[in-house]
Structure 1
């Protein structure tokens, strides 16, 4: 039985979420404050955290950052805030998904199931080394993609990426040195991320650079083409 921790101070939302998730077969506990939520992370060891961004004692964004220091548990951020920048802030802080209030319990349970499924697929099917994955290491390219396992290797070392980050890298690697506008990247991700926009693309690119570049501040692999978008250079 998968365990879900709901960190939510709104009684109605918290109780409804707990009830519906319990009916779906999850073991659910609820914390009504950020400080209580941090304690519950250690005690309960959840498979997923539903985190309200607006808590009475701690900023949900700060709590998300703190949770990320302690755990790789999937985080579903929920909030009354509907602005794109609020969602981007949550994703940058480490949230895996974002759900705007008010939301249907059906959508909540679907998002929870998808995040847990994705997380546990990675655990049950750990990424093999590049030799096992039949990746050609002799062409001098620093970044390798294993399409079957949706794995990325940088200089033969596996790096963890989100679904959207992998899709962007797949597009880049297949079209080396092609300049992609932000609109083209947005269109490529539609259906994967329903909230995708220019700012989200920039966040994904920044996160990819942190994972694949030797110096993310001086990127050599993913270049910015000012006024247009981005291109992947590879071992040019």
Structure 2
């Protein structure tokens, strides 16, 4: 049974989420502080995290970034903030999805399913075999993937990535030379039923270039195809 960690200090919203998710056959633990949330990562061992970014002991994108440093589990932000800038900040900090309160419980269930599909697909045996083959083809660039540890490597050294950055890079390495539109990257990372926009993809690519390229302003590996999208060059 899928385990959901709800980190939400509002008692009404927290109770509503807990009741609904229990009815949908999820196992749920709810906590009200960031500190308790970090502890629950180990004591509860969730499959998905629902995170409110305004908690009594921490708030903002930095909170999201700290959870991402602690785990690569699918992370969905639930927030009252509606501005596009807030969404971009959260996703750039490591969130895999963003829901604005109040939201449909059915939509929440769909988005949980979407992030789980992306996470589970990463460890599927067939995908593992394909990615290992493609990773070997990409060795000329020094960029490889360790699928078992979900780690991106540059010249044998681990490169820290968010969940979404890793998924984008895995897609690139599996299909070197293929041009991907931003819409295709959105769908590959999160699924068509989950929120993310073109700007967020650009942010992820910019971050990957900073981590992988010798000169991010003149990228050698992750190329922009003007008017279309991006491609990975070995």
> Scaled by the length of structure 2, what TM-score is found?
0.73
Using CA pairs under 8 Å that are at least 6 residues apart, name the structure with larger relative contact order, 1 or 2. Answer: 2
- Structure 1 segments of 4 or more deviating over 6 A? 141-145, 152-161, 227-230
Indicate how the Cα distance of structure 1 residues 27 and 194 shifts in structure 2: closer, same or farther if over 3 A, else same: closer
Return the match for 2:177 from 169, 173, 181: 173
Task: Flag the structure with larger Rg.
Answer: 1
How far apart are the structure 1 equivalents of 2:34 and 2:139?
A: 49
- Residue 61 of structure 1: aligned partner: 61
Deviation at 1:10, TM superposition (A): 1.2
Provide Cα deviations, 1:146-196, integer angstroms capped at 9, x if missing partner: xxxxxx997799998639736984898224xxxx9xxx6358747737644
Provide Cα deviations, 1:50-106, integer angstroms capped at 9, x if missing partner: 001122220142222111222111110011111111011111111111111110111
Name the SS for the 1:76 alignment partner: strand
Higher helix share: 2
Gaps of 5+ in 1: 146-151
Indicate how the Cα distance of structure 1 residues 32 and 134 shifts in structure 2: closer, same or farther if over 3 A, else same: closer
1:85-124 residue pairs with structure 2 within 5 A?
Answer: 85-124=85-124
Gaps of 5+ in 2: 146-151
Say what the alpha-carbon RMSD is for the aligned residues.
Answer: 4.0
How far apart are the structure 1 equivalents of 2:157 and 2:101?
A: 39
Deviation at 1:116, TM superposition (A): 2.1
